Amino acid sequence: MRAYKPKDDVQKKPYYTDRFYKSPQVPKSSPESDELFSADLDAIKERFEVLDAYIQVGQLVVYINPQDNFKVLEMLKNERAYSQLSEMSAIDWIADRGGFEVFYQMLSMAKRRRIRIKIFIKKGQAVNSVEKLFRSADWSEREMFDMFGIEANGHPFMKRILMPYDWQGHPLLKTYPLQGDEFAAWYEVDKIFGKEARDIIGPEIRDTARVDRYDSERFSLLGHEVPKGTKITGDEPKVQESYQEEGGVFLIKKFDRKSSVVIDDPQR
Amino acid sequence: MAQIKNRLTPFFENITFDREDNELILNFGPQHPSAHGQLRLMLHLQQEMITKAHPDIGYLHRGMEKMAENMIYNEFMPTTDRMDYIASSSNNYGFALTVEKLIGLEVPRRAKVIRMMLLEINRLMSHIFWLATTALDIGAMTVFLYSFREREYLMDIIEGYCGARLTHAAIRIGGVPLDIQDSFISQLKAFLDKLPENIKTYEDLLDTNRIWLMRMEEVGTISTEMALSWGCTGPMLRASGVAWDIRKEEPYELYDEVEFNVPYSDKGDNFARYRIFMEEMRESAKILYQTIDMYEKCVKDGQTELMAHAPKYVSASKLDIMTQNYSLMQHFVLVTQGMRPPVGEVYVATESPKGELGFFINSQGGPYPYRLKVRAPSFWHAGILTDLLPGHYIPDVVSIIGTTNIVFGEVDR
């Protein structure tokens, strides 16, 4: 029987994990341990529902409901001095929980604090755009849409940003293979030459490390080179190779295997 | 492939189309020499004035984040070189620091000093490169030739250290792989002693140059609100009146032990950014002098450790691997399976020459990161062109792109 391979997560898996291995955890501390963070958290708690909150590696992480994202960020920007949205993106949890985690990484320069607001959305659900608050979200949300297919409601230009506009599939989903899917392999051939040229050209080889051992055009046995396109049998005769011009070069003595001495012992 | 007819419709790049409302649409790039990489700008023009700009990126997209999800942590290190390839050690460092924060690793002091040296050399390389290319874009070819000469000295020093000139991969998770070579400090000192003179040469050529001033002053002004809203960091933000330097505000490594100033300006125009780059070069030199002293103190105190001691995550020294059985086994596991950091999430920002370079890692305890997000400063510095370019004229586009200092390896990742 073939080994079962999950289709909802095609990322590389470790080939061996000890049966008794238990991963350690990055320590979390309570938000009360930091004055500024606990004040921020209390301000959020006053008006919005907070699902979970902790400090990890010096940054406050707050889980809120997805519909509150705009209002919470607005409050943090206007009232809590979190002036910059450094980063936002998503994490694919479709295989485990059927949705995405979207995070907003905020920075307060006045307080020298960083806070991470997280929301969980179901697959296919859209988020509220925060582009009106932070212009940086304009491109971040487009990137998130491009990579995960999460749309942002109220975004002025919800188009792909890194991939071509006519691309199919969202590359950072766990279901998307590293070397691209079938669409990716035929994308350029179909677009440039048309589907009827598929047989002539063949799919794009997207695995850069692939070596065809029968490819005599680009790869050959060293010292046993054959002309391009020759069928390899395996008993090719040794070729006496010479990489210098036949006529010789002015002032340069031709290096010739026959007239030179090969020293086998490097120590002499 | 000559016998197969292709279907590409003729596409006349950089030809303007006249519309009924007298609006021209100009396609700038993606192969424009002044675009600093593969940037395509669709510019709507009224006469020579830009009314709407639409930057189009993604021509250098390699899917770094996807690759990271399929690589062990150490495997990803050389890949980070290919992001901001003008100052690749700063990417290495940002990634290494993030993983170290994730697993809670303390790096030996000597390695920290060497890392700081590399980071500041990279900052100098990046700023000198910025000056060269921007000056060339604007037409000052002499500056280009002078500053490339200086950059060459720095590249030689780095080459002596790690063997590479552009893609260094000179930093490891847990420290640095090598001690600096014997000639490193003497070479660096010789360079630093000459640097103020060199910077003065550039400034003499540019500061009072009429053409330079006309192209730079009052062009591409970014207000503080706009810079904050667009997520600008680094020199872009400091030129707009916010003295925010992560090295100063959230010090990492030994930046809290060295003395340096954070130059900033409230003008926000191209010229302010140019001045900040020049001043930052001087500050970097100041830091480098101090790191040389720190390094010599490390040598005197007999601190020889270069890699952190953490057998679960970091391989032992080569000597141990070759002589100790357990170290060899551990090394074998770490190379074939990779280290397994704890379950958790971390976002760490460092001050790269371009701005805030952040790495976000979500680890689920496996040898591959579950999610890795790179916060590349150039991404937003390219995005701000949408709002910055309207109202400017076509020649200003070149100088504005120049002073934003964007690198497309980083924008597209």
Dihedral sign, Cα of residue B280, residue B281, residue B284, residue B290: negative
Domain with B351, as residue range(s), is: 64-310+347-412
pLDDT of residue A171: 92
Count Cβ atoms within 10 A of the Cβ of residue A59 and give its class: 0-12 exposed, 13-18 middle, 19 or more buried: buried
pLDDT of residue A223: 76
pLDDT tens digits, one per residue of A166-194: 899 899 999 998 888 888 889 888 888 88
> Residue B314: helix, strand or coil by DSSP?
coil
Measured between beta carbons, the chain B residues lying within 8 angstroms of A142 are none
d(CA B411, CA B413): 6
Interior angle at CA A81, CA A80 and CA A83, nearest 5? 130
Chain B CB within 8 Å of residue A50 CB: no
In a domain, B208, yes or no: yes
Assess whether pLDDT exceeds 80 at residue B43.
yes
Residue A23 is nearest to which of B4, B343, B347, comparing CB atoms? B343
Token representation of residue A141: 């949300």
CATH of the domain at B381: 1.10.645.10
Q: How many CB atoms lie within 10 A of CB B397?
A: 23
In a domain, B161, yes or no: yes
Chain A CB within 8 Å of residue B63 CB: yes
Chain B CB within 8 Å of residue A103 CB: yes
Q: Across residues B354-359, what is the average pLDDT? A: 92
d(CA A165, CA A155): 17
- Residue ranges per domain, chain A? 28-124, 177-232
pLDDT of residue B1: 45
Q: Which pLDDT band, with edges at 50, 70 and 90, does A238 fall under?
A: confident
In a domain, B30, yes or no: no
In a domain, B146, yes or no: yes
Contact B273, B239 (CB under 8 A): yes
Domain covering A28-124: architecture:
2-Layer Sandwich (3.30)
Assess whether pLDDT exceeds 80 at residue B256.
yes
Q: Which of A209-218, B41-50, B159-168, B209-218 has the lowest mean pLDDT?
A: A209-218
CA distances from B397 to A231, B26, B138, B219, B268 (A): 56, 12, 11, 10, 16
Q: How far A176 CA lies from chain B's nearest CA (Å)?
A: 9
Assess whether pLDDT exceeds 60 at residue B13.
no
d(CA A124, CA A126): 7
In a domain, B398, yes or no: yes
Residues 6+ apart with CB under 8 A from A249: none
A206 or A139, greater pLDDT = A139
pLDDT tens digits, one per residue of B200-241: 999 999 988 888 888 888 888 999 999 999 999 999 999 998
The distance from CA A225 to its chain's CA centroid, rounded to whole angstroms, is 39
pLDDT of residue A15: 83
Measured between beta carbons, the chain B residues lying within 8 angstroms of A136 are 229-231, 380, 383
CA distances from A74 to A84, A133, A172 (A): 11, 7, 28
Measured between beta carbons, the chain B residues lying within 8 angstroms of A130 are none
pLDDT of residue A34: 87
pLDDT of residue B80: 93
pLDDT tens digits, one per residue of B87-125: 999 999 999 999 999 999 999 999 999 999 999 999 999
Residue A136 is nearest to which of B231, B344, B346, comparing CB atoms? B231
B70/A171 touch (CB, cutoff 8 Å), yes or no: no
Q: Report how many domains make up chain B.
A: 1
Q: Judged by CB atoms within 8 Å, which residues 130-169 of A form the interface with B?
A: 134-136, 138-139, 147, 160-164
Token representation of residue A207: 């695995």
Residues 6+ apart with CB under 8 A from A97: A120
Q: Which pLDDT band, with edges at 50, 70 and 90, does A268 fall under?
A: low
Token representation of residue B290: 């101090």
Chain B CB within 8 Å of residue A16 CB: yes
d(CA B121, CA B87): 9
Q: Judged by CB atoms within 8 Å, which residues 128-187 of B form the interface with A?
A: none
Chain A CB within 8 Å of residue B241 CB: no
Region for residue B402 given its phi and psi (left: phi exceeds 0; alpha: psi -120 to 50; beta: otherwise): alpha
Q: Closest residue of B to A83, CA-based? A: B228
Residue B347 is nearest to which of A112, A116, A135, comparing CB atoms? A116
Q: Which pLDDT band, with edges at 50, 70 and 90, does B20 fall under?
A: low
pLDDT tens digits, one per residue of B378-402: 999 999 999 999 989 988 898 999 8
Q: Closest residue of A to B356, CA-based? A: A86
Residue A56 is nearest to which of B70, B337, B344, comparing CB atoms? B344
CA distances from B32 to B26, B36, B126, B299, B398 (A): 12, 8, 21, 49, 10
Assess whether pLDDT exceeds 90 at residue B361.
yes
d(CA A32, CA A9): 37
Measured between beta carbons, the chain B residues lying within 8 angstroms of A28 are 344
pLDDT of residue A188: 87
CA distances from A54 to A28, A31, A44, B102, B366 (A): 6, 5, 14, 16, 23
Q: Closest residue of B to A118, CA-based? A: B345
Residues 6+ apart with CB under 8 A from A64: A44, A48, A49, A50, A51, A72, A117, A118, A119
A23/B349 touch (CB, cutoff 8 Å), yes or no: no
A139/B380 touch (CB, cutoff 8 Å), yes or no: yes
pLDDT tens digits, one per residue of B265-274: 998 899 999 9
Assess whether pLDDT exceeds 70 at residue B196.
yes
CA distances from B348 to A66, B2, B22, B193, B362 (A): 25, 51, 49, 34, 12
